[in-house]
Amino acid sequence: MRVISWNVNSVRARLPRLLALLRRHEPDVVCLQETKV
């Protein structure tokens, strides 16, 4: 099982990179966190 966890700052700004990552690694589970302090 492949799991990807990524602490993203602004998913919209990094969408192309995220999609490339998903295509490359083909994970079963993706966890995206966005932290704003």
Residue numbers in the chain where pLDDT is lower than 50 = none
Amino acid at 14: R
Is residue 33 within 8 A of residue 6, CB to CB? The reply is: yes
Range of the domain at 24: 3-33
Q: Give the model's pLDDT for residue 25.
A: 97
pTM value is: 0.73
Q: Give the model's pLDDT for residue 37.
A: 64
Q: For the chain, first and last CA: distance in Å?
A: 32
Number of separate domains in the chain: 1
